[in-house]
Amino acid sequence: MTSPRALLALSVASICLAFTTPAYAQTESPEPAAAMREAVAVAVIATDSESATFAESCAVALIGNLGTAGFHSVERFDGTVDAAAADEQTAAAIHGSGGARWVAIIRCTLERQRLVWRLAIFDFIDGALIAADSQGTFAGLSAMPLLEASAARVAHDAQLQRKRIAPGNPIQYRLHFVSSDAGAQVSFGTGDGSRPAGSIEDGELVAPFVAFREGDPVVITIARDGYWPRTTVFTTAGSDNPIKLPVLMPKTAQALTVGLTTARLLGASADYRYYLMPDSIFLRGGDSFWLQYTYAAGSIPVLHDELRLGFGAYLFTPPYAHLRFAAGAGLSGITTLLLPASMTDRFYFDLSLDAVWLSFEWHMPGWALFLEQRVSYSFGLDSGLLSRGWLKSDDGPMGLTAGVLLKWP
């Protein structure tokens, strides 16, 4: 004779089934699947009829939550299972019979007046357990909210793992790295948890064997004294192809630029940089010398020499990046000499403010190409030729310089 408590639980389960159970396929004896299906098979294992009532309520809640979590095909498995077998073995048998990718096992037992249950979901893309929960409480109506909450947690955890991909097979070879940075130290991982792999010798390194899986992302750190360390990520493959490591950038303490400026084509400029912080903040001093001549009748040659002092800093990109952007400001003084010795006033001096200069640079380990734009304001000194105001040129952009930057530590 069924106890009153079981009858009450069965009534509640029936109401839940009537209002919340979604449509799902039921099969008396599942046929072997030809291929894995994107479906969840839900199996219930109970030790007696009373615990089966609670297990059915949990199954209703789990099926509803899995549907909400994005599992579009959720099926009840009504075949025969071995209650004494482990969950892993039971799930494997259900997967083999129906081909569902995911298998959920709901196991309920009644120990005196205490209900104990366990929910587990396996993903047979590799057979891993991706979500589980187990609890126990008094076998009464108070267990229903706990069963529903347990089902919701397991469905949520399974949702987080729904887009898993099958892990590849372990690779059967040692990783082979190639690099132009002789003596650089290579490590698996980053920080204190990294594992040394060796150093670059004769342009290559064959690392100790590590059983990475095909398709796994592998994090590599490359470090060398006097250079900026790099971290790179690559994906292992089934074949032993050499892995080219990124080129390390040296830490720059000094640099010299040589360039040519628009409107000053009959001349050249040079600039020295001293880095207060390597590849970051620097002071600069430079000189430009050029001849101004229009090649027209009656024109006279004019010599100019400009001395510049200023500061700058690199912005936005890391020091090992190829493309870098620098900005700064400074002062400049221009001395002008009119060549005809017969002229009374031959020497002039102008002072201007480099309100801002911008430099776009493409860096290689020992050198860089740069393009620099200046925006300058003349103070209009009585001793000079320039009037007060922003400097302009009729021949093109004022203060646009292109050239080469040579770097050394």
pLDDT at 28: 37
The residue assigned the tokens 């498995």 is 77
Q: What is the mean pLDDT of residues 115-144?
A: 93
Q: Kindly state whether residues 240 and 269 are assigned to the same domain.
A: no
In a domain, 168, yes or no: no
In a domain, 171, yes or no: no
Rounded Cα distance between 188 and 168, Å, is: 19
Residue 299 has pLDDT above 70, yes or no: yes
Q: Kindly state whether residues 306 and 399 are assigned to the same domain.
A: yes
Q: Kindly state whether residues 96 and 143 are assigned to the same domain.
A: yes
pLDDT at 395: 57
Q: What is the pLDDT of residues 171-198, one digit of tens each?
A: 889 999 999 999 999 999 998 889 999 9
Number of domains composing the chain: 3
Rounded Cα distance between 152 and 316, Å, is: 45
In a domain, 167, yes or no: no
List the one residue out of 315, 326, 325, 306 whose CA is nearest residue 261.
Answer: 306
Q: Kindly state whether residues 396 and 292 are assigned to the same domain.
A: yes
Of the ranges 14-18, 272-276, 388-392, the best mean pLDDT one: 272-276
Top pLDDT among 87 and 23 is at 87
Q: Kindly state whether residues 369 and 389 are assigned to the same domain.
A: yes
Residue 3 has pLDDT above 60, yes or no: no
Q: What is the mean pLDDT of residues 251-269?
A: 91
Q: What is the pLDDT of residues 340-359, one digit of tens each?
A: 767 778 899 999 999 999 99
Q: What is the mean pLDDT of residues 231-250?
A: 90
Which of 189, 224, 244 is the last residue before a domain boundary? 244
Q: Kindly state whether residues 302 and 207 are assigned to the same domain.
A: no
Q: What is the mean pLDDT of residues 212-238?
A: 91
Which of 160, 192, 221 is the last residue before a domain boundary? 160
CATH of the domain at 393: 2.40.160.20
Q: What is the mean pLDDT of residues 379-401?
A: 81
Q: Tell me the C-alpha to C-alpha distance, in Å, between residue 8 and each of 3, 5, 283.
A: 9, 5, 84
Q: Kindly state whether residues 74 and 219 are assigned to the same domain.
A: no
Q: Do 16 and 60 contact (CB within 8 A), yes or no? A: yes
Residue 153 has pLDDT above 90, yes or no: yes
- CA 227 from centre of chain: 22
Domain around 93: 4-160
List the one residue out of 43, 28, 34 whose CA is nearest residue 94.
Answer: 43
Confidence of residue 394 (pLDDT cuts 50, 70, 90): low
pLDDT at 239: 79
Q: Kindly state whether residues 373 and 321 are assigned to the same domain.
A: yes
In a domain, 287, yes or no: yes
pLDDT at 2: 41
Q: Where are the beta strands (DSSP E) in 47-174?
A: 74-77, 100-111, 114-123, 128-138
Q: Kindly state whether residues 30 and 116 are assigned to the same domain.
A: yes
Q: Kindly state whether residues 314 and 283 are assigned to the same domain.
A: yes
Question: Among 148-162, 221-235, 255-269, where is mean pLDDT lowest?
Answer: 255-269
How many residues comprise the chain? Answer: 409
In a domain, 249, yes or no: no
Q: Do 115 and 57 contact (CB within 8 A), yes or no? A: no
Which of 244, 265, 281 is the last residue before a domain boundary? 244
Mean pLDDT for the chain overall:
87
The residue assigned the tokens 């299972």 is 81
Q: What is the mean pLDDT of residues 37-51?
A: 92
Confidence of residue 406 (pLDDT cuts 50, 70, 90): very high
pLDDT at 23: 36
Confidence of residue 10 (pLDDT cuts 50, 70, 90): very low
pLDDT at 187: 96
Q: Kindly state whether residues 260 and 382 are assigned to the same domain.
A: yes
CA angle 165–103–61, rounded 5-degree value: 115
In a domain, 62, yes or no: yes
Rounded Cα distance between 357 and 334, Å, is: 17
CATH of the domain at 56: 3.40.50
Q: What is the pLDDT of residues 301-340, one digit of tens each?
A: 899 999 999 999 999 999 999 999 999 999 999 999 988 7
In a domain, 386, yes or no: yes
Q: Kindly state whether residues 118 and 79 are assigned to the same domain.
A: yes
Rounded Cα distance between 104 and 37, Å, is: 14
